Structure 1
Amino acid sequence: MTNMTDAKILIMATNGFEQSELQTPLKELRDAGATVDIATPDGKAIKGWNESDWGESVEADLKISDVDVDDYICLVLPGGQINPDILRTDEKAVHTVRDFVAKDKIVAAICHAPWLLIEAGVVKGREMTSYHSIRTDLKNAGANVVDKEVAISNGIITSRSPEDLPAFVAKIIEEVKEGEHTRNVAA
């Protein structure tokens, strides 16, 4: 069992993150007592996408290349179409996702963010959901795709869209309180 005030959580994103999918978990996880850091490719502020136009900027705490996975219990990956598409081509970002899974850390991805899980090679055989337009990508990568607000498979949490944020954040908090999750890394 982990107390939320002892939990250190990482949000990894870049420009084009869906505004609510970063801001809501950031606020609610901090309100629950967790320490939450934001990692970006260059350690600088990033600009969100707010439904149909550019949104607000968010300050970064560190560069993705400076992340020490052992410092965190959980990784949160916001979606948006632009953000995960850029990050899945970033070797350091993909390596970070793979390390979180390999070290039995909780990983939570919403909307288009499961693209990063696919790129990291950690979806095969896992129950997952995502934004409807990338479900075929998940299926082709070997995931057992479902259409529900939250899917969880051995500490990997996925949700479909901003409408699922209440359930998504609640599941992150529940899993963090349970602690680290021993699991096999997908082939």
Structure 2
Amino acid sequence: MSKKMAVLLAEGFEEAEAVVPMDIAMRAGIEVTKVSVSGEESVKGAHGIAVGTDMKLDDLDAADYDMLMLPGGMPGTTNLESTPKVAEAINRMNEKRGYIAAICAAPRILGDMGLLEGIRATVYPGNEGHMKGAAVDMKAKAVADGRFITARGMGCAVEFGREIVTALVDAETAGKVLASIQY
């Protein structure tokens, strides 16, 4: 049975931070569901690229998934932060002991929620103050610690995808996928 990842897309998300890890995950056989935070059928990213979605946030039951993924970007991250149902989905995944992955500024959401206490993590520079109790590593491109995967930004999207595949499938599969894309 393949693993399942739900990607929360809010208006203004950083396109590459969503699409690159989704592509890598799908190449590894992970079932990816694109979730519209706004409820619209497609969500426009920070640079005007619209991405079609598979479901609305109102219809998401995080317990049906193995991982939640939060792309960053602005105003995507602030739109995630200002949507109470996003926090509900994150809490549901955390209660289930499932994986939570966030890139760029989005890890600050997890930090502000107190979920990164004692966890090694990274975040887009300037957001370190939101990482309550985390062991912040600003040199790492992507960090996996337990059930949490974080990455610094768009330039780290491939490494972020690798950590997602390693967590949900295995390191060998992640390596094969990256080799197949000439990384």
* TM bracket, shorter-chain basis: 0.7 to 0.9
- State which of 111, 121, 132 in structure 2 corresponds to 1:128: 121
Shift of 1:60: 1.4
Report the secondary structure of 1:37's partner residue. Answer: strand
2:13 corresponds in structure 1 to 17
Report the secondary structure of 1:38's partner residue. Answer: strand
Superposed structure 1 runs of 4+ greater than 6 Å apart: none
What CA distance in whole angstroms lies between the structure 1 residues aligned with 2:145 and 2:25? 21
What CA distance in whole angstroms lies between the structure 2 residues aligned with 1:117 and 1:9? 17
Letter in 2 for 1:14: A
Report the secondary structure of 1:23's partner residue. Answer: helix
Show structure 1 runs of 5+ residues with no match.
179-187
For residues 140-179 of structure 1, the aligned pairs below 5 Å read: 141-147=132-138, 148-177=140-169
Letter in 1 for 2:133: G
RMSD between aligned alpha carbons? 1.4
1:65 corresponds in structure 2 to 58
Deviates more, 1:111-120 or 1:6-15: 111-120
Shift of 1:24: 0.6
Report the secondary structure of 1:107's partner residue. Answer: strand
Shift of 1:110: 0.5
2:37 corresponds in structure 1 to 41
Identity %: 28
> Does structure 1 retain, via aligned residues, the 8 Å contact 2:3–2:30?
yes
Report the secondary structure of 2:115's partner residue. Answer: coil
> Does structure 2 retain, via aligned residues, the 8 Å contact 1:7–1:73?
yes
For residues 98-113 of structure 1, the aligned pairs below 5 Å read: 98-113=91-106
Q: Could you state the TM-score of these two structures normalised by the residue count of structure 2?
A: 0.86
Show structure 2 runs of 5+ residues with no match.
171-183
Report how many aligned residue pairs link the two structures: 168
Shift of 1:41: 2.2
Q: Could you state the TM-score of these two structures normalised by the residue count of structure 1?
A: 0.84
What CA distance in whole angstroms lies between the structure 2 residues aligned with 1:35 and 1:16? 24
> Does structure 2 retain, via aligned residues, the 8 Å contact 1:88–1:119?
no
Do residues 96 (structure 1) and 89 (structure 2) align?
A: yes
Shift of 1:121: 2.6
